Amino acid sequence: MKLGAFSVSLGVKDLSASKSFYEKLGFTVFAGNADHNYLIMKNGDIVIGLFQGMFEGNLLTFNPGWDQSANNVDPFDDIREIQSHLLSSGLTLDSQADPASSGPASLMLKDPDGNVILIDQHR
């Protein structure tokens, strides 16, 4: 099972302050829009997302169909295939993709320690 690109999505209180902090660690803005309260930053292959007011806590995020630079990869495991595998493995999902749909979709689950995992397919 290929989960795609990995990043940590951080729920931040002050987008500007967080951006400045991570720039001091060598991260640069890669994508996003500060006017929409989110930025995606990179340091080499490391990707973090800064999200102000969109969710509480932090998320482990996977993007099927993308590499670490948000380039399309083919072939890739569609989120509905991943979802089917997770469910057949006995995992409980907090949200699910519509199995009859195609294209962009997402699902969420928690690990045994309560860490939220978002699998978010953009294509």
Residue pLDDT, tens place only, 17-58 = 999 999 999 999 999 999 999 999 999 999 999 999 999 899
Mean pLDDT on 98-111 = 97
Instruction: With residue 120 as reference, give the H or E element that holds it.
Output: strand 116-121
| Domains defined along the chain, listed by start | 5-121 (3.10.180.10)
Q: For residues 49 and 42, what is the distance between their CA atoms, to the nearest angstrom?
A: 9
